[in-house]
């Protein structure tokens, strides 16, 4: 039996978008930085690399960050 609170782990080693929060948490931990700083930095790098426009978060999205 497994506890209900146990989060699913990738079984086949595939990278899925559902695992991004877990990847972010682990990378931030090993780099010694906050998850927020790492997310901000990786987003800025992706925007620059792919020449993506800057998108302003909606009020609802800003509230979720608090």
Question: In angstroms, what CA-CA distances link 30 with 23, 26, 27, 41?
Answer: 11, 6, 5, 15
Structure tokens at 7: 């989060």
d(Cα 59, Cα 36) in Å, to the nearest integer?
A: 18
Tell me, what's the pLDDT at 63?
Answer: 64
pLDDT truncated to tens, each residue of the chain (66 aa)? 555 665 666 667 777 888 889 999 999 999 999 999 999 999 999 999 999 988 877 777 666 655
Structure tokens at 27: 């990378």
Assessment of whether the complete model's pTM goes beyond 0.85: no
Question: Phi and psi of 36, rounded to 5°?
Answer: -65, -45
């Amino acid at each position: 039996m497994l506890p209900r609170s146990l989060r699913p782990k990738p079984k086949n080693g595939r990278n899925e978008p559902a695992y991004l929060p877990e990847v972010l948490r682990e990378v931030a931990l090993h780099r010694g930085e906050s998850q927020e700083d790492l997310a901000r930095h990786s987003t800025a790098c992706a925007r620059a690399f792919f020449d993506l426009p800057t998108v302003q978060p909606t009020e609802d999205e800003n509230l979720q960050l608090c």
